[in-house]
Amino acid sequence: MPYNEEITEKRTAIVKTLAEKSILKQKVYDNTLGAFSHIKSILAEITENINREVAYLDPRIKLNYTDRGGFDAQLKVAGDLLLFSMHSNIFEFDREHPAWKTPYIQKNKLNSYSGIISIYNFLADSFKYSRMDDLGYLIARIFVNHENQYFVEGKRQMALLFTNFGSEDLTRQALTRIICTAVQYSLEFDLLVPPYDAVKIATVGQAEAKIQHSKLATGKRLGFQFNSDDVLNET
């Protein structure tokens, strides 16, 4: 093939990729950013409404919402802190992911490109006392695509509700349901006592820094991995 013809073909391929995939990814990003903007608004609204309802109980259980910038927001609920985090990049599922088995993606591969909003559960005291070794727990990930279709991947309590990829837009109502489910799940997900052998020895330095803040890496589970109940679609 002549050199100039080869360059022309490559240039044409670049333009085609930009026209198809890059524009599609930009649309995915816009949809995800729009969803995250709704999440912030919903968190502020939920905070106001619930605080009004629990005002007569105990001021220490009030909700506290914090906007942490373009891609992060947090909701403190009693002793828990939920961190909502949007990734700035667009992803495609790995070939082993169950999403590839859905008719929606099998019909059109481009439907697989998704933005991700993650929901983490931390202990509020981990941030209050700057316990950097404390553990957080990923309880759900919201995937959004170019058609504003979505699904939620996460713990069983989350995933059972949202097995509708390709059949439902990510509306404000759907996001409210996801957030309320995440809050309820975190409140029911209790802190476990760590194994005795994991904390039976402490150094002088740890004692000076207060054992409870440095030696004991606190988390609702002493680990950060999904188990057998973390699936996309359960029956």
pLDDT digits over 69-118, tens only? 889 999 999 888 999 999 999 999 888 888 888 889 999 999 999 999 99
pTM value is 0.78
Query: How far is it, in rounded angstroms, from Cα 102 to Cα 151?
Result: 11
Over the stretch 187-213, which tens digit does the pLDDT of each residue have? 887 666 666 676 566 666 656 665 455
**pLDDT number for residue 206:** 59
Q: Which has more pLDDT, 21 or 85? A: 85
- Band (161; pLDDT cuts 50, 70, 90): very low
Q: Of 9-13, 125-129, 133-137, 218-222, give the lowest mean pLDDT range.
A: 218-222
Query: How far is it, in rounded angstroms, from Cα 166 to Cα 223?
Result: 33
Query: How far is it, in rounded angstroms, from Cα 27 to Cα 81?
Result: 31
Over the stretch 123-146, which tens digit does the pLDDT of each residue have? 888 888 787 777 788 888 999 999
Query: How far is it, in rounded angstroms, from Cα 36 to Cα 86?
Result: 7
Burial 82-110 (b: 16+ CB within 10 A, else e): bbbbbeeebeeeeeeeebeebebbeeeee
CA nearest 91: which of 146, 11, 10, 20? 146
**pLDDT number for residue 40:** 97
- Band (59; pLDDT cuts 50, 70, 90): confident
Query: How far is it, in rounded angstroms, from Cα 153 to Cα 230?
Result: 7
Query: How far is it, in rounded angstroms, from Cα 134 to Cα 83?
Result: 14
